[in-house]
Structure 1
């Protein structure tokens, strides 16, 4: 693999070093922080579902959230009952 030498300021070096994980090279840090974010990839999907399909998908997401909230609330209540003895 070809390599390139670059000059960066001391401040930029310190910032990269702070981002660097133990077993990670500086090249790996640069690749990690410059890759397209999940948000950028998600923006490409904006508006892909329209009309009835979009409404149904939105409803299924909201229903799943409500279901998770109910399960969470039930678990919390059960734990409170056990805790209070």
Structure 2
């Protein structure tokens, strides 16, 4: 096994040195830190089994449908409330005009 020399900034070296355990080499330290890191999320991309992927797609589609339906219902309710408010305002304005005449 060969070795490589790498350059690190002084502040990074100090941070590494602070995390180094007694008797641990910098190679051992970096190996330990790499093992502890969660890794790249792309490494497991596409690893979902087809049954699980199909279930996830179904659940996502149902969620989109429910959200869309809920938004449409709330929008319709808001439009009806607005129409009622405008009608009430129109009736009160007409009633005021009748009294003025």
TM-score normalised by the chain length of structure 1: 0.48
Q: Using CA pairs below 8 Å that are at least 6 residues apart, which structure has the higher relative contact order? A: 1
Q: If each structure's helix is expressed as a fraction of its own residues, which one has the higher value?
A: 2
Mark the structure with the bigger radius of gyration. Answer: 2
